[in-house]
Amino acid sequence: RSDLKPIWCPGCGDFGVLAAIQQALVALQINPKDLAVVSGIGCSSRLPGFLQAYGLHTVHGRALPAAVGLKTARPDLTVMAVGGDGDFFSIGLGHLPHAARRDLDITVIVMDNAIYGLTKGQTSPTSPRGHVTKSTPYGQSAQPLHPLAIVLASGASFVARGFSSQPKQLAELIKAGLEHRGFAFIHVLSPCVTFYDTYKLYKELVYNLPADHDPSDLDAAMHYAVESDRLPLGIFYRRPPLESLPGPTPKPFDTQAYLNRFRV
Protein backbone atom coordinates (compact mmCIF):
# COMPACT_ATOMS: atom_id res chain seq x y z
CA ARG A 1 0.00 0.00 0.00
CA SER A 2 1.07 3.59 -0.48
CA ASP A 3 1.45 6.25 2.22
CA LEU A 4 -1.83 7.87 1.15
CA LYS A 5 -4.84 7.10 3.32
CA PRO A 6 -8.13 6.48 1.47
CA ILE A 7 -10.54 9.38 1.86
CA TRP A 8 -13.66 7.35 1.12
CA CYS A 9 -16.63 7.69 3.49
CA PRO A 10 -16.44 5.28 6.45
CA GLY A 11 -18.17 2.04 5.39
CA CYS A 12 -17.75 2.61 1.63
CA GLY A 13 -17.56 -0.72 -0.21
CA ASP A 14 -14.39 0.39 -1.98
CA PHE A 15 -12.38 -0.30 1.21
CA GLY A 16 -13.18 -4.00 0.84
CA VAL A 17 -12.15 -3.93 -2.82
CA LEU A 18 -8.84 -2.23 -2.02
CA ALA A 19 -8.13 -4.85 0.67
CA ALA A 20 -8.94 -7.67 -1.75
CA ILE A 21 -6.68 -6.21 -4.46
CA GLN A 22 -3.84 -5.91 -1.94
CA GLN A 23 -4.34 -9.53 -0.85
CA ALA A 24 -4.29 -10.74 -4.45
CA LEU A 25 -1.14 -8.75 -5.29
CA VAL A 26 0.65 -10.06 -2.21
CA ALA A 27 -0.43 -13.64 -2.92
CA LEU A 28 0.97 -13.39 -6.45
CA GLN A 29 4.09 -11.56 -5.25
CA ILE A 30 3.68 -8.86 -7.89
CA ASN A 31 6.44 -6.31 -7.48
CA PRO A 32 5.17 -2.67 -7.40
CA LYS A 33 7.65 -1.77 -10.17
CA ASP A 34 5.93 -4.33 -12.45
CA LEU A 35 2.39 -3.08 -11.82
CA ALA A 36 0.42 -0.19 -13.33
CA VAL A 37 -3.08 0.72 -12.15
CA VAL A 38 -5.17 2.96 -14.42
CA SER A 39 -8.42 4.71 -13.48
CA GLY A 40 -10.86 7.31 -14.75
CA ILE A 41 -12.82 9.69 -12.51
CA GLY A 42 -15.05 8.88 -9.54
CA CYS A 43 -14.80 7.85 -5.89
CA SER A 44 -13.46 4.40 -6.84
CA SER A 45 -11.07 5.88 -9.39
CA ARG A 46 -8.99 7.25 -6.52
CA LEU A 47 -7.84 3.70 -5.84
CA PRO A 48 -4.49 3.83 -7.74
CA GLY A 49 -3.27 6.42 -5.24
CA PHE A 50 -3.65 3.95 -2.39
CA LEU A 51 -1.44 1.26 -3.93
CA GLN A 52 2.30 1.22 -4.29
CA ALA A 53 2.54 0.93 -8.07
CA TYR A 54 2.58 3.07 -11.18
CA GLY A 55 -0.74 4.91 -11.14
CA LEU A 56 -2.57 6.75 -13.89
CA HIS A 57 -5.59 8.81 -12.80
CA THR A 58 -6.90 9.71 -16.28
CA VAL A 59 -10.14 11.40 -17.41
CA HIS A 60 -13.75 10.35 -17.01
CA GLY A 61 -14.53 7.13 -18.84
CA ARG A 62 -11.09 6.77 -20.41
CA ALA A 63 -9.36 4.29 -18.12
CA LEU A 64 -9.62 1.54 -20.74
CA PRO A 65 -8.05 3.36 -23.72
CA ALA A 66 -5.20 4.44 -21.45
CA ALA A 67 -4.78 0.88 -20.13
CA VAL A 68 -4.87 -0.60 -23.65
CA GLY A 69 -2.23 1.89 -24.83
CA LEU A 70 -0.06 1.21 -21.82
CA LYS A 71 -0.27 -2.58 -22.18
CA THR A 72 0.50 -2.32 -25.90
CA ALA A 73 3.59 -0.19 -25.26
CA ARG A 74 4.71 -2.07 -22.14
CA PRO A 75 3.54 -5.69 -22.40
CA ASP A 76 5.94 -6.60 -19.60
CA LEU A 77 3.82 -4.69 -17.03
CA THR A 78 0.85 -6.13 -15.16
CA VAL A 79 -1.91 -3.66 -16.04
CA MET A 80 -5.11 -3.18 -14.08
CA ALA A 81 -7.93 -0.77 -14.98
CA VAL A 82 -10.23 0.22 -12.10
CA GLY A 83 -13.22 2.49 -11.67
CA GLY A 84 -16.94 2.71 -11.14
CA ASP A 85 -20.19 2.03 -12.97
CA GLY A 86 -20.51 5.62 -14.22
CA ASP A 87 -17.02 5.52 -15.66
CA PHE A 88 -17.21 2.08 -17.32
CA PHE A 89 -20.91 1.73 -18.17
CA SER A 90 -21.90 5.29 -19.10
CA ILE A 91 -19.36 7.72 -20.57
CA GLY A 92 -16.80 4.95 -21.06
CA LEU A 93 -19.14 2.20 -22.27
CA GLY A 94 -18.06 2.53 -25.90
CA HIS A 95 -14.56 1.35 -24.98
CA LEU A 96 -15.61 -1.76 -23.08
CA PRO A 97 -16.70 -4.16 -25.88
CA HIS A 98 -13.67 -3.29 -28.01
CA ALA A 99 -11.21 -3.79 -25.17
CA ALA A 100 -12.94 -7.10 -24.37
CA ARG A 101 -12.82 -8.42 -27.94
CA ARG A 102 -9.14 -7.46 -28.35
CA ASP A 103 -8.47 -9.72 -25.38
CA LEU A 104 -5.32 -7.88 -24.29
CA ASP A 105 -3.91 -9.10 -21.00
CA ILE A 106 -5.57 -6.47 -18.75
CA THR A 107 -7.48 -7.00 -15.51
CA VAL A 108 -10.51 -4.74 -15.17
CA ILE A 109 -12.16 -4.20 -11.80
CA VAL A 110 -15.42 -2.25 -11.78
CA MET A 111 -16.69 -1.13 -8.37
CA ASP A 112 -20.41 -0.90 -9.09
CA ASN A 113 -22.48 1.00 -6.51
CA ALA A 114 -25.36 1.77 -8.91
CA ILE A 115 -25.06 5.51 -8.21
CA TYR A 116 -22.80 8.48 -8.97
CA GLY A 117 -21.13 8.99 -5.58
CA LEU A 118 -18.51 11.65 -6.33
CA THR A 119 -21.09 14.03 -7.80
CA LYS A 120 -23.44 13.40 -4.86
CA GLY A 121 -25.99 10.83 -5.85
CA GLN A 122 -27.33 10.77 -9.42
CA THR A 123 -28.82 7.67 -11.07
CA SER A 124 -26.28 5.51 -12.92
CA PRO A 125 -26.64 2.94 -15.75
CA THR A 126 -26.96 0.10 -13.22
CA SER A 127 -29.50 1.82 -10.92
CA PRO A 128 -32.72 -0.18 -10.78
CA ARG A 129 -35.93 0.83 -12.52
CA GLY A 130 -37.93 3.26 -10.38
CA HIS A 131 -34.81 4.52 -8.55
CA VAL A 132 -35.49 8.04 -7.20
CA THR A 133 -32.55 10.45 -7.05
CA LYS A 134 -32.06 14.15 -7.74
CA SER A 135 -31.48 13.30 -11.43
CA THR A 136 -34.56 11.05 -11.64
CA PRO A 137 -37.06 12.66 -9.21
CA TYR A 138 -39.97 10.67 -10.69
CA GLY A 139 -38.04 7.41 -10.67
CA GLN A 140 -35.65 5.89 -13.21
CA SER A 141 -37.70 4.81 -16.24
CA ALA A 142 -34.91 2.96 -18.11
CA GLN A 143 -33.88 -0.63 -17.46
CA PRO A 144 -30.51 -1.17 -15.75
CA LEU A 145 -27.94 -2.67 -18.07
CA HIS A 146 -26.33 -6.06 -17.52
CA PRO A 147 -22.55 -5.45 -17.47
CA LEU A 148 -21.60 -9.11 -17.44
CA ALA A 149 -23.81 -9.89 -20.44
CA ILE A 150 -22.19 -7.04 -22.39
CA VAL A 151 -18.63 -8.23 -21.80
CA LEU A 152 -19.53 -11.89 -22.39
CA ALA A 153 -21.18 -10.99 -25.70
CA SER A 154 -18.10 -8.96 -26.65
CA GLY A 155 -15.63 -11.79 -26.21
CA ALA A 156 -14.12 -11.19 -22.76
CA SER A 157 -12.14 -14.29 -21.89
CA PHE A 158 -12.55 -14.13 -18.09
CA VAL A 159 -15.70 -12.82 -16.40
CA ALA A 160 -16.43 -12.87 -12.67
CA ARG A 161 -18.43 -11.12 -9.98
CA GLY A 162 -17.59 -10.49 -6.32
CA PHE A 163 -18.99 -8.52 -3.40
CA SER A 164 -16.98 -6.00 -1.38
CA SER A 165 -18.39 -7.47 1.85
CA GLN A 166 -16.80 -10.81 0.98
CA PRO A 167 -13.17 -9.70 0.48
CA LYS A 168 -11.71 -13.19 0.83
CA GLN A 169 -13.70 -14.53 -2.11
CA LEU A 170 -13.12 -11.27 -3.98
CA ALA A 171 -9.34 -11.57 -3.48
CA GLU A 172 -9.47 -15.07 -5.01
CA LEU A 173 -11.42 -13.78 -8.02
CA ILE A 174 -8.96 -10.90 -8.54
CA LYS A 175 -6.04 -13.30 -8.20
CA ALA A 176 -7.59 -15.59 -10.83
CA GLY A 177 -8.17 -12.56 -13.07
CA LEU A 178 -4.56 -11.44 -12.75
CA GLU A 179 -3.34 -14.97 -13.49
CA HIS A 180 -5.55 -15.21 -16.58
CA ARG A 181 -3.70 -14.40 -19.81
CA GLY A 182 -6.27 -12.20 -21.55
CA PHE A 183 -8.99 -9.66 -20.81
CA ALA A 184 -10.27 -10.34 -17.30
CA PHE A 185 -13.40 -8.49 -16.20
CA ILE A 186 -14.36 -8.51 -12.51
CA HIS A 187 -17.65 -6.88 -11.58
CA VAL A 188 -17.76 -5.95 -7.90
CA LEU A 189 -20.90 -5.05 -5.96
CA SER A 190 -19.49 -2.20 -3.86
CA PRO A 191 -22.19 -0.22 -2.01
CA CYS A 192 -22.15 3.55 -1.49
CA VAL A 193 -23.22 4.04 2.11
CA THR A 194 -23.78 7.75 1.64
CA PHE A 195 -26.05 7.95 -1.41
CA TYR A 196 -27.42 4.44 -2.00
CA ASP A 197 -26.81 1.95 0.76
CA THR A 198 -27.41 -1.48 -0.77
CA TYR A 199 -25.55 -3.63 1.80
CA LYS A 200 -28.70 -5.18 3.25
CA LEU A 201 -30.26 -5.74 -0.16
CA TYR A 202 -27.13 -7.34 -1.65
CA LYS A 203 -26.64 -9.57 1.37
CA GLU A 204 -30.12 -10.97 0.70
CA LEU A 205 -29.61 -11.35 -3.05
CA VAL A 206 -26.08 -12.71 -3.46
CA TYR A 207 -25.33 -16.42 -3.75
CA ASN A 208 -22.40 -18.43 -5.04
CA LEU A 209 -22.62 -19.92 -8.53
CA PRO A 210 -23.47 -23.62 -8.26
CA ALA A 211 -20.46 -25.91 -7.78
CA ASP A 212 -21.34 -27.73 -11.02
CA HIS A 213 -21.31 -24.54 -13.11
CA ASP A 214 -18.83 -25.09 -15.95
CA PRO A 215 -16.94 -21.78 -16.53
CA SER A 216 -16.08 -22.81 -20.08
CA ASP A 217 -19.81 -22.94 -20.94
CA LEU A 218 -20.60 -19.53 -22.47
CA ASP A 219 -24.36 -20.18 -22.68
CA ALA A 220 -24.53 -21.05 -18.99
CA ALA A 221 -22.45 -17.97 -18.15
CA MET A 222 -24.84 -15.77 -20.10
CA HIS A 223 -27.82 -17.33 -18.34
CA TYR A 224 -26.41 -16.31 -14.95
CA ALA A 225 -25.21 -12.91 -16.25
CA VAL A 226 -28.72 -11.70 -17.02
CA GLU A 227 -30.19 -12.91 -13.73
CA SER A 228 -31.53 -9.89 -11.86
CA ASP A 229 -33.78 -11.28 -9.10
CA ARG A 230 -30.66 -12.68 -7.44
CA LEU A 231 -26.97 -11.89 -7.85
CA PRO A 232 -24.62 -14.83 -8.47
CA LEU A 233 -20.99 -14.53 -7.37
CA GLY A 234 -17.95 -16.40 -8.70
CA ILE A 235 -16.30 -17.11 -12.05
CA PHE A 236 -18.97 -17.00 -14.74
CA TYR A 237 -16.72 -17.66 -17.71
CA ARG A 238 -13.10 -18.56 -18.36
CA ARG A 239 -12.07 -19.23 -21.94
CA PRO A 240 -10.16 -22.46 -22.50
CA PRO A 241 -6.49 -21.92 -23.47
CA LEU A 242 -6.17 -20.35 -26.94
CA GLU A 243 -4.18 -23.32 -28.20
CA SER A 244 -7.18 -25.61 -27.62
CA LEU A 245 -9.59 -23.50 -29.71
CA PRO A 246 -10.23 -24.23 -33.41
CA GLY A 247 -8.52 -21.96 -35.96
CA PRO A 248 -5.11 -20.29 -35.98
CA THR A 249 -3.72 -19.01 -32.68
CA PRO A 250 -2.96 -15.29 -32.99
CA LYS A 251 0.65 -14.32 -32.38
CA PRO A 252 1.29 -11.95 -29.46
CA PHE A 253 1.64 -8.31 -30.52
CA ASP A 254 5.32 -7.42 -31.01
CA THR A 255 5.57 -3.79 -29.85
CA GLN A 256 9.25 -3.45 -30.71
CA ALA A 257 8.77 -4.70 -34.27
CA TYR A 258 5.83 -2.32 -34.67
CA LEU A 259 7.85 0.68 -33.45
CA ASN A 260 10.80 -0.27 -35.65
CA ARG A 261 8.61 0.31 -38.72
CA PHE A 262 8.63 4.05 -37.96
CA ARG A 263 12.36 4.34 -37.35
CA VAL A 264 14.35 6.15 -40.03
137: Cβ–Cβ under 8 A, 6 or more apart, which residues?
Answer: none
Q: Hey, which residues between 164 and 193 contact ligand SF4 (CB under 6 A)?
A: 192-193
- Cβ 190 to ligand SF4 shortest distance, Å: 8
Q: Which residues pair with 211 in a beta bridge?
A: none
Nearer to ligand SF4, 19 or 77 (CB): 19
Q: Does 8 bind ligand SF4 (CB under 6 A)?
A: yes
Q: Can you tell me which of 88, 89, 195, 237 binds ligand SF4, judged by CB under 6 A?
A: 195
Radius of gyration of the chain (CA): 18
Q: Rounded to whole angstroms, how far apart are CA atoms 245 and 240?
A: 7
d(CA 151, CA 159): 8
117 binding ligand SF4? (CB under 6 A):
yes
Please say which residue, 47 or 100, places its beta carbon nearer to ligand SF4: 47
Q: Does residue 43 touch ligand SF4 according to CB under 6 A?
A: yes
In the complex, the smallest distance separating the C-beta of residue 174 from ligand SF4, rounded to whole angstroms, is 19
Shortest distance, position 197 Cβ to ligand SF4, whole Å: 8
How far apart, in whole angstroms, are the C-alpha atoms of residue 81 and residue 65?
Answer: 10
Minimum CB distance to ligand SF4 smaller for 193 or for 220: 193
**Given candidates 113, 140, 157, 164, which one binds ligand SF4 under the rule CB under 6 A?**
113
Do 14 and 6 contact (CB within 8 A), yes or no? yes
User: Does 14 interact with ligand SF4 (rule: CB under 6 A)?
Assistant: yes
DSSP state of 157: S
List strand residue ranges (DSSP E) for the chain, in order. 35-39, 54-57, 78-84, 106-112, 115-116, 122-123, 158-163, 184-189, 206-208, 231-238
Q: Residues interacting with ligand SF4, by CB under 6 A? A: 8-9, 12, 14, 43, 113, 117, 192-195
